Chain A
Amino acid sequence: MASRSKLSGIQRQVLVLYRGFLRTARLKSPEERHRIESVVSAEFRENARSVDRKNFVYIEYLLRRGKKQLQQLKDPDITGLSTLEINKASSLH
């Protein structure tokens, strides 16, 4: 991954999803935002480290799940932390 122009489509999707989470976190209170950012960042980094980059089926599953979680997080009533904690717990299996 020497150059950004060589990013694959699926890598770009992951980055778009990450950006979406960070954008949504901005809409929450500063305290919540910080918590959401650290949880999301940890989740993405953990998966980037542990998931084989050729395991497209699993990556696509994570992308779908992440998109669904992002939709939920966009709801102004959701502070985000509980949702993310549950998901983080389930992803550790």
Chain B
Amino acid sequence: MLLLVLYVRSEKHQHTVNNSSLPAKSNPKRTREREMAAAALRPAILRRIRLSPSPAAAAAAAVEGSQPHALARWLARPMSSHDAHLTRDEVVDRLVDVLKCHPKVDPSKVSPEAHFEKDLGLDSLDTVEVVMAIEEEFKLEIPDQEADKIDSLPLAIEYVANHPMAT
């Protein structure tokens, strides 16, 4: 596209040169002179030509700068999970489902306020299993210190809802 425009421009210049030397059309010497004139003009033309694409190139570079490269966009993707963050309701629903799926939990007892041991009758080993299941559901890795503290659904909801990487 850019090349095409440049070609048209240089043609125009050639034309003006030809027009100025119109009377000596058939004279070989004149033809040669014309050629030399054209050759002399060429740097000037080229300079103009070279000038013309630069604003376009600058604009293209600016566009490139403002719109990150595809790879950069892809790399930034995990970070942008903040934007599409889970809603609290979604977290609550999915956590309740995780609890209901545990073999030792009576599904009718599960409520968003349930305490794992007091309300659902789970022991500490079951609680470890539940927290591991929560990790898998939301594709998290909960460190031991944090996992030890999660002993009820409200705490689990709090943890997952505030976790930036929860999906």
Q: Which residues of A contact B (CB under 8 A)?
A: 1-4, 7, 11-12, 15-16, 18-19, 22-23, 26, 41, 44-45, 48
CB of B124 within 8 A of CB of A4, answer yes
What's the nearest-Cβ distance from chain A to residue B131, in Å?
A: 8
CB of B125 within 8 A of CB of A7, answer no
Which B residues lie within 8 Å of A26 (CB)? 136
CB of B148 within 8 A of CB of A23, answer no
Complex-state Cα separation, A89 to B136, whole angstroms: 31
Contact of B148 among A12, A41, A44, A48 (CB under 8 A): A12
What's the nearest-Cβ distance from chain A to residue B70, in Å?
A: 33
Complex-state Cα separation, A17 to B148, whole angstroms: 12
Secondary structure at chain B's binding surface: helix, strand, loop or mixed?
A: helix
By size class, the interface of chain B is 10 to 19
CB of A22 within 8 A of CB of B128, answer yes
Complex-state Cα separation, A54 to B144, whole angstroms: 24
CB of B117 within 8 A of CB of A16, answer no
Contact of A15 among B117, B125, B136 (CB under 8 A): B125
Which B residues lie within 8 Å of A11 (CB)? 124
Which B residues lie within 8 Å of A45 (CB)? 125
Complex-state Cα separation, A31 to B156, whole angstroms: 29
Complex-state Cα separation, A15 to B151, whole angstroms: 13
